[in-house]
Amino acid sequence: MRIALFTETFLPKVDGIVTRLSHTVDHLQRNGDSVMVIAPEGGITEYKGAKVYGVTGFPLPLYPELKMALPRPAIGYELEKFQPHVIHVVNPAVLGLAGIFHSKTHNIPLVASYHTHLPQYLHHYGLGMLEGFLWELLKAGHNQAALNLCTSTAMMEELTTHGIERVNLWQRGVDTELFHPDLVSSEMRSRLSQNHPESHLLLYVGRLGAEKEIERIKPILEAIPAARLALVGDGPHRQALEKHFAGTNTNFVGYLTGRDLGSAFASADAFIFPSRTETLGLVLLEAMAAGCPVVAARSGGIPDIVTDGVNGYLFEPEADIQSAITATVRLLEQKQEREIIRQNARQEAERWGWASATRQLQDYYQKVLYSEYPKAA
């Protein structure tokens, strides 16, 4: 099967969407399918045997890490040469419109998937008044597809509530070899804690964006004497965060990848994740695979992954931050309970390999291709 994959973000950018897509492309190619990725230009032309067609773009004003690439006729020429059986549009926004257009004009089955909760993001950038308008745009785009995939049951309900049709679940996945408890490292712990390995080490990994609400970690850090916080990642909100955390035991580590990232997860005492805008929260599953206990907001797709008191802790994001402080202190003080949480977290992660998630996606492609799902209007 030949799959044309349109995405608004791809390598070399690092985020949860790119992680999912890169593993998906890898496993599709391994299984004998042929993939062509159409994405904003990033300097790579091939990945795991799949052609990457880069489209020139420009940085988004509010989010310069992301590029906006506009559809152009050359994309159609490339697709005509590739002759896809299925077109898969990831987060259809701007570039994805070319995939929707080509699907309609050439009668090629269309799959869309929803990974970024953009309507919620608007509130963190002072644009909340546009939420209703954005939902209408998303509905118009997604309802062109024969199938719309979400990565959590919460997002399935959200999309259905807003009039998006033919919604189904694309199961989670994680690399349980790259993220493993055996990667615990005293050197990494010293690096993250700025040479205070004896202190409790709190960890955040992800984009440093306003929508991640990383500021909410500060009261947790201040409530635990001598604790250290490592923020792994980068983004447009970093400068504001550096000011916010000034005077605290916070280390802005920057990006980590590969075994270094796996070692960071395995070497920390707790992973703190306050975001309320997650469609899934793949980074939580990576932490759990590495045996790092998580304390996360009960919001979005997170409860699909974390069972409170079993493989991590959830706090009520709308309530006072005290619930997050209480959960973190309990996790750090109760060593026996923390060890049980670690083991349960790893067992949960082991259920979700990328190979299984990709086989499920291939099954969806087959059903769309052979009209087992009703065609969009």
What was the pLDDT predicted at 130?
64
The phi, psi pair for 152, rounded to 5°, reads -155, 155
Instruction: Report pLDDT for 251.
Output: 98
CB of 201 closer than 8 Å to CB of 193: yes
Question: What pLDDT is recorded for position 126?
Answer: 65
The closest of 361, 353, 366, 376 to 149, measured between CA atoms, is 361
Tell me the pLDDT tens digit for each residue of 144-181: 999 999 988 888 998 999 999 999 999 988 999 899 99
Q: What letter represents residue 282's amino acid? A: L
Domains of the chain: 2-173+353-369 (3.40.50.2000), 181-349 (3.40.50.2000)
Q: What is the pTM of this model?
A: 0.79
How many other β-carbons are positioned within 10 Å of the β-carbon of residue 186? 9
Contacts of 212 (CB under 8 A, 6+ apart): 206, 237, 274, 275, 277
Query: Exposed, middle or buried, 74 (CB in 10 Å: 0-12/13-18/19+)?
Result: exposed
Which regions of the chain are under pLDDT 50?
Answer: 377
DSSP 122-160: GGGGT-GGGHHHHHHHHHHHHTTSSEEEESSHHHHHHHH
pLDDT tens string 291-335: 999 999 998 888 988 999 999 999 988 777 898 999 999 999 988
